[in-house]
Chains A and B, each alone.
Chain A
Amino acid sequence: MRARLVLLGPGLSYLAVLLLLPLALLIGYTVFRRGRFGGIAYEDGRTGENFARLADPLYTGVLTDSLRIAAVTTLLALLLGYPTAYAISRLPGRWRTVALILVVLPFWTNFLIRTYAWIVLLSSRGVVNSALTGIGVIDRPLKLLYTEPAVVLGLLYAYLPLMVLPLYSAIERVDPRLLEASADLGARPARTFWSVTLPHTLPGVLTGCVFVFVPSLGNFVVPELLGGGHTVMVGNLIRDQFLNARDWPFGSVLALALMAFLVLLLMAQAWAGRRLGGR
């Protein structure tokens, strides 16, 4: 009993105070009003108007933009990541580790630096525009930076490794005997891929998609630095409610909406994973 207290006590107390209490606080804040100088006005309690504001077209617009940007990023990551993971799994054994390390290496570098690199590439006087005008493809620089595609590109760059890794381990685990059997029965490689490899790696596809979608959705740094304030995602909105508008109750509502959506997504993934795995 005492050993139990010594082992579990410190860690669980820490999480209770610095994780559960803060989350409970956010839930609690949602029913209050913004104080006159920011913070919380406790005396004006019990209001549902913070939740009603979610239906304002201004905010539903930001929410659907965020979902669209995160979804497009995830789709592009899948389209680029699957063939990449497949190619790595076809490499001779000792090259696979090297190829995987090369995929994750940029991921271990500061996230802001990786995002900043795209400003250097995409800005109006940046490397891409200089190169294009230099070889005479265009006369005037293209507007590449501070656009929605720039935001998608930045998110894709940041999270692509999170797609490749689960895909690689899923492709790696496909039983080679199944592939041999398919070939023995006369299927061409493309047919084997569609009928054997792809269906067997769908759980990995799901995992990769969640790994990319979830951090993309809540990101506020990439939309700010590469979207230049024109592209606002839900993360920017939450940040602004807390630091600029100082409307903590509504900021909490937005944060909880984000979390509720992610919980639903994870539950859907677990359900789909069970169905795919169980057949």
Chain B
Amino acid sequence: MRRATLLPLWLTYTFLYTPVVVLVVMSFNRSDSPYEWSGFSTAWYGTLAGDDEVLRGLANTLIVAAGATALSTVLGTLLAVGLARHASRSRLLPALSVLPAVLPDIVLAIGLLAFYSLVSATLGLQSVLLAHTVFGLAFVTAVVRTRIAHVDPSLEEASRDLGAGEVTTFLRITLPTLAPGIVAGALLTFTLSLDEFVIAFFTAGPKDPTLPIVIYSMIRFGVTPEINALATLLLAVSFTVVIAAQRVSRLTEAL
């Protein structure tokens, strides 16, 4: 009985991890074909380390993710606090704030492309950054609003009763109590922005591709085992980050 219940779990894990394991194994392949094994080698990691396009893509991605995270964290936090205080009866404004997260990415992407073209904006890193801020703003607002719902409002009242001004209360009471939500929202935005492809594909322009765009053209136009090496590195990074985040959140829960 117990065995039978666990069977689907093993099936799912096999499904989820077979492709991952195959990529990792194939990244150490000596052959020029990404599919056929012909002996162990780490040569493709060397090729990857010398690939300027990949490195530039990585740099572009980090710039966009950092910028979009900073911008959406500030805008999203203010918006979340504002919605909690001043729009408690409105259902329209909260709905607007989550719209970018539920809208199909391709619709947001072509809408932004149409807008940039209308105002004759040059497509480049700045247009991707502003585009990523749209969905980042939605995620930061959502996460911070959840945090606000669990915070005792009497803290802010006490601060004002004791004579602190609006700004002092915000900086010394509101922000610190919301900090875990703000950090969580920022991390989420950063991670999503690193991986985001569809919106960047439409708004990046030809000169400054982000890493996902570079990966896309590697897959479409020239598959070599170099991409297996890149895939393995990205897998290692994201697995480490997720597990570390899990450890940290368990640690903060314990405190």
Chain A residues within 8 Å of B, Cβ to Cβ: 3-4, 6-8, 10-12, 14-15, 18-23, 25-26, 29, 39, 80-81, 83-84, 86-88, 90, 97, 99, 101-106, 108-121, 123, 125-127, 130, 157, 160, 164, 189, 214-215, 217-218, 220-221, 225, 235, 238-239, 242-243, 248, 251-252, 255, 258-259, 262, 266
Q: Are B12 and A120 in contact (CB under 8 A)?
A: no
The residue in chain A whose Cβ has the minimal distance to the Cβ of B220 is A225
CB pair B110 A255 closer than 8 Å:
yes
Q: Which of B86, B96, B106 contacts A255 (CB 8 A)?
A: B106
Residues B78 and A6 in contact, CB atoms below 8 Å apart: yes
Residues on B facing A (Cβ under 8 Å): 1, 5-9, 11-13, 15-20, 22-23, 26, 33-36, 74-76, 78-79, 81-83, 85-87, 93, 96-97, 99-100, 102-108, 110-115, 117-118, 130-131, 133-134, 137, 141, 166, 191, 195, 197-198, 202, 212, 215-216, 219-220, 223, 227-228, 230-231, 234-235, 238-239, 241-243, 246
Distance in Å from the Cβ of B174 to the closest Cβ of chain A? 10
Other A-B contacts than A11-B141, A87-B9, A220-B198, 4 sampled, CB-CB below 8 A, are: A10-B79, A18-B131, A104-B242, A110-B231
Report the Cα distance A27→B117, complex, angstroms.
16
Contact between chains at A117 and B75 (CB < 8 Å): no
Q: Which 7 A-B pairs have the closest CB atoms?
A: A7-B82, A11-B79, A22-B111, A117-B19, A83-B8, A8-B82, A218-B104
Cα-based distance from A106 to B20 in the complex (angstroms):
8
Q: Roughly how many angstroms separate A18 CA and B128 CA in the complex, as a whole number?
A: 12
**In the bound complex, CA of A115 to CA of B212 (Å):** 12
Contact A242 B215 (CB under 8 A): no
Inter-chain CA distance A90–B33, complex, in Å, is: 44
Contact of A117 among B13, B22, B97 (CB under 8 A): B22
Majority DSSP secondary structure for residues of A touching B:
helix
Residues of chain A within 8 A of B7, CB atoms compared = 83, 87
Instruction: Evaluate contact between B219 and A80: CB separation under 8 angstroms.
Output: no
Q: How far is the CA of A123 from the CA of B22 in the complex (A)?
A: 13
B191 touches A84 (CB 8 A): no
Contacts A11-B79, A125-B33, A220-B106 given; indicate if A23 touches B111 (C-beta within 8 A).
Answer: yes
B212 touches A112 (CB 8 A): yes
The one of A8, A101, A116 that contacts B231, using a Cβ cutoff of 8 Å: A116
| Cβ B15 vs Cβ A18 within 8 A | no
Give the residue name and chain of the A residue nearest to B107 (CB).
A255
Contact yes or no, A101 B12, CB < 8 A = no
Q: Is the CB of A125 within 8 A of B238?
A: no
| A118 CB to nearest B CB, Å | 6
B198 touches A221 (CB 8 A): yes
Our pick among B81, B137, B197, B223 for the contact of A111 (Cβ within 8 Å) is B197
B145 to chain A, nearest CB (A): 12
A81 to B99, CA, bound (A): 27
CB distance from B86 to the nearest CB of A (A): 5
Q: Which of B19, B85, B230 contacts A118 (CB 8 A)?
A: B19
Give CA–CA (A251, B202) in the complex, Å.
14
Q: How far is the CA of A108 from the CA of B110 in the complex (A)?
A: 25
Known: A25-B111, A160-B12. A14 touches B75 (CB 8 A): yes
Kindly report which residue of chain A lies nearest to residue B16, judged by CB atoms.
A106
Q: How far is the CA of A186 from the CA of B26 in the complex (A)?
A: 54
A80 CB contacts on chain B under 8 angstroms: 8, 11-12, 15
- Using Cβ atoms and an 8 Å threshold, which residues of chain A touch B111? 19, 22-23, 25-26, 255
**C-alpha gap A18/B19 in the complex (Å):** 38
Once the chains are docked, how many angstroms separate the CA of A225 from the CA of B223?
Answer: 12
A259 touches B104 (CB 8 A): yes
Once A18-B134, A118-B19 are accepted as A-B contacts, the answer to whether A108 and B83 lie under 8 Å apart by CB is no
A103 near B106 (CB under 8 angstroms)? no
Cβ 8 A contact of B9, one of A6, A26, A88, A104: A88
Instruction: Say yes or no: A7-B79 contact (C-beta < 8 A), given A19-B99, A117-B23, A251-B110.
Output: yes
Q: A26-B107, A80-B12, A120-B22 are in contact. Are A10 and B75 (CB under 8 A)?
A: yes
- Structural contact, B215 and A114, CB atoms closer than 8 A: no
Whole-angstrom CA separation of A205 from B108 in the bound complex = 27
Instruction: List the B residue with the shortest CB-CB distance to A224.
Output: B220
| Beta-carbon nearest neighbor of B23 in chain A | A117
- B87 lies within 8 A of A8 (CB): yes
Please determine whether B216 and A112 come into contact, CB atoms closer than 8 angstroms.
Answer: yes
Docked CA distance A220–B216 (Å):
12
**Contacting pair A103 B16 (CB below 8 A):** yes
Is the Cβ of B202 less than 8 Å from the Cβ of A242?
Answer: yes
Residues in B with CB closer than 8 Å to A29 are: 114
Contact in complex: B197, A112 (CB < 8 Å): yes
Return 11 A-B CB contacts under 8 Å, by A number.
A11-B79, A21-B115, A83-B5, A83-B9, A88-B9, A112-B216, A116-B23, A214-B104, A217-B104, A239-B106, A242-B113
Chain A residues near B215 (CB, 8 Å)? 110, 112-113, 116
